[in-house]
Amino acid sequence: MSASEAVLAPYTDILRQECPRVRILVVGKSGAGKSALINAVFGVEGATAVANWTPGKHDIDEPHSFPTNDRIIIHDSQGFEAGEEANIKKVLDFIDRRSKMPALGDQLHAIWVCAEIPFAGGRLFETGVEQILKGSWEIPIIVVFTKLDVLRDHQEVKLNQELEERGEDMDDNEFDAKIDTFVDQEMQDRCILPLCTLMESDSPKYPWVATSTDSKPQFKTTIAELVNLALKWINLEKVWIELAIAQRSNAKASIEASIRVGRKRYWRGLFSDILLGFTMRSVLNVLQRDIVNVWNMHDPNSHLQAPEFLALLSVLVEDLYDEATNDYPLTKKAVDAIIENPKAIIIAGPTAVIVLFAEWVQGTYKKTKNSLRCLIAFIVDLTLIMDTLFYLVLSRGQTPMKIALINQALRIYKDRKAPVHTSIRAWADGWGTFTHLDESAAMKKIENIILINSVKPEQWDMQDEPSDESWMAPDALRET
C-alpha cells in the first residue's frame, strides 16, 4: 500500500486486522439466559444464531461464532454444578491464560457473569462463579442479573392483588412508579446485598445491571444499558471501538463509535491538506465504507456498500452545493455515471451548476467552502440514515439488509433533513478562511449536529412500507 493509498484505507479495516473480534466470556448457570442475552446484545437472533448455539454443555476452549455477526466470539463456561472442581479450575486457567496473550485479538476483552434474579431462598452464584468474582483479574467483569421481566411481572401481580383486596384503584403512572420502587428494593435485597456480602464489602465491587430479553421497549433499554456499562469499563480505545461496532442494541454507542472513528482520520482530514489530490469519489467511498462498517449491520448482499447507495447519498447533499440556485444539479445522467463509470468526468445537464456538482463528485478533492459543506453533510446524513436504519432493523427482529429498507430510511431521513442542512449551512456561513478554522471546535460541531438530530426512538412511530427491492429514483429525494 502506498502512503497516499494508506490515507484512504478505511480505519475499520485496519482495526479489523489487528483485532478482528471482540472476545467475551459468559459465565452462569445453564438456563440463566446467557444465550438469549448474547443474541439480544449482538443482534444474532433468528435461526442462524440457534443453529450455532446448542444449549447445555459447552467447552470453554471452543468458542461460538455467528454467521450473521462476525465481530464477536463468545466463550461459554459449562455450568458449575456441585463437584465440578475440574471445570472450575479450567475456567480460572482460561481467564489467566487469555489475559496474558500478546495479540489483542487473542485476549479476552470482558467477562459477563450472568445470574438469574433469584426467588426467596434461591442461591445467587455457584461456587465457581464466586471464585471468579473473588479473584483479581485485569479483565473487566460485569455482573448481569437476568430475567428482570419475571421480577417485574411478579411485583405487578402482587400489587394488583393488594389493590383488589382493598377495593382500590390506581392510575397507570402511579402504578408504574410504585412498581419501579418495589423492583429496585427487591433488586437490592435479592441481588446487591448478597453480592456485597460475598465481596465482604459495603459496595457490590463490580458494575452490575439488571436485564431482560423481553421484546418490550422498556426492556430493550436494559440491553442498551448493559452495552453502555460494558463500554464504560473497557480501557483500550481499540477494544472500545470494536465492542461498539460488534453490538447491535445501542444506537447511541454506534454513533459514538462513528464519531471516534471519524475523529481519528477523516474529519481531521477535512480541515487539513491530506485529502488534496484524491478524487472525490474515492473520498466519498472511504467515508461510506467506514461509516457503514461501524454500524455492522447484517448485510449479506453488501447493499450498504453499493455505488447506488453512494449516488443517492450524493443527491441528498446537492442542496448545499450552491446556495444561489434551486436547480437540482446531480442529473440522472450524473447519477448513472457515478454508478457505472466512476472515473469519467461528466459534463451533463443544462446549467453551469449541474456541471459544477457533477464535477464535485467526479473531480478531485478541493478545500473550498462548497466542497467542505457537502462533505460534512455527507458524513452527517449517512450517519443519521444508518441511525434510522438501526431502528428499522431492530423493530423487524434483525432481518438481513434489504434495498427496500434502505429506501425507507432514505425517505424518512429526507423529511428530517431540512434542519440538519440548515444548521450546516449556517455554520459554514460563519467560516472565515480555512486557515483559521479551529479543527477541534469543528469536529465538536459535527458531533453536536449528529447527536442533536439522532433518532429519538420514543418519539418515532414506525410505519410499515411496501417492499420494493429496486433502488429508489433520485428524484424522490428532492423537494417537489
Ligand X SMILES: Nc1nc2c(ncn2[C@@H]2O[C@H](COP(=O)(O)OP(=O)(O)O)[C@@H](O)[C@H]2O)c(=O)[nH]1
Residues that bind ligand X (CB under 6 A): 28, 30-36, 55, 146-147, 149-150, 212-214
Please say which residue, 146 or 288, places its beta carbon nearer to Mg ion: 146
325 binds, among ligand X, Mg ion, none (CB under 5 to 8 A by kind): none
Q: Min. distance of Cβ 212 from ligand X in angstroms?
A: 4
Please say which residue, 216 or 232, places its beta carbon nearer to ligand X: 216
- Residue 212 found at the interface with Mg ion (CB under 5 A): no
256 binds, among Mg ion, ligand X, none (CB under 5 to 8 A by kind): none
Please say which residue, 57 or 232, places its beta carbon nearer to Mg ion: 57
- List residues bridging with 26 in a β-sheet: 76, 112
Q: Min. distance of Cβ 79 from ligand X in angstroms?
A: 8
- Residue 146 found at the interface with Mg ion (CB under 5 A): no
Residue with cell 410504585: 178
Please say which residue, 150 or 274, places its beta carbon nearer to ligand X: 150
Please say which residue, 31 or 135, places its beta carbon nearer to ligand X: 31
Q: For Mg ion, which residue of 25, 28, 35, 41 counts as binding (CB under 5 A)?
A: 35
Looking at beta carbons, which residue is closest to Mg ion?
35
Q: Min. distance of Cβ 344 from ligand X in angstroms?
A: 54
Q: Min. distance of Cβ 38 from Mg ion in angstroms?
A: 8
71 binds, among Mg ion, ligand X, none (CB under 5 to 8 A by kind): none
SS (H, E, C) the chain: CCHHHHHCCCHHHHHHHHCCCEEEEEECCCCCCHHHHHHHHHCCCCHHHHHCCCCCCCCCCCCEEECCEEEEEEEECCCCCCCCHHHHHHHHHHHHHHHCCCCCCCCCCEEEEEEECCCCCCCCCCHHHHHHHHCCCCCCEEEEEECHHHHHHHHHHHHHHHHHHHCCCCCHHHHHHHHHHHHHHHHHHHHHHHHHHHHCCCCCCCCEEECCCCCCHHHHHHHHHHHHHHHHCCCCHHHHHHHHHHCCCCHHHHHHHHHHHHHHCHHHHHHCCCCCCCEHHHHHHHHHHHHHHHHCCCCCCCHHHCHHHHHHHHHHHHHHCCCCCCCCCCCHHHHHHHHHCCCCCCCCCCCHHHHHHHHHHHCECCCCHHHHHHHHHHHHHHHHHHHHHHHHHHHCCCCCCCHHHHHHHHHHHHHHHHHHHHHHHHHHHCCCCHHHCCHHHHHHHHHHHHHHHCCCHHHCCCCCCCCCCCCCCHHHHCCC
Residues in contact with Mg ion, total (CB under 5 A)? Answer: 3
- Residue 213 found at the interface with Mg ion (CB under 5 A): no
Please say which residue, 146 or 408, places its beta carbon nearer to Mg ion: 146
Q: Min. distance of Cβ 59 from Mg ion in angstroms?
A: 13
Please say which residue, 157 or 476, places its beta carbon nearer to ligand X: 157
68 binds, among ligand X, Mg ion, none (CB under 5 to 8 A by kind): none
Q: How far apart are CA 310 and CA 123, in angstroms?
A: 55
Please say which residue, 26 or 382, places its beta carbon nearer to ligand X: 26
Q: Min. distance of Cβ 49 from ligand X in angstroms?
A: 10
329 binds, among Mg ion, ligand X, none (CB under 5 to 8 A by kind): none
Q: Min. distance of Cβ 188 from ligand X in angstroms?
A: 20
Q: Min. distance of Cβ 179 from ligand X in angstroms?
A: 16
Please say which residue, 38 or 361, places its beta carbon nearer to Mg ion: 38
Residues 41-80 that bind Mg ion (CB under 5 A): 55
Q: Min. distance of Cβ 172 from ligand X in angstroms?
A: 22
314 binds, among Mg ion, ligand X, none (CB under 5 to 8 A by kind): none
397 binds, among ligand X, Mg ion, none (CB under 5 to 8 A by kind): none
| Helix 34-42 vs helix 217-232: crossing angle, to nearest 10 | 90
C-alpha cell at 376: 460534512
The residues that touch Mg ion, with contacts defined as CB under 5 A, are: 34-35, 55
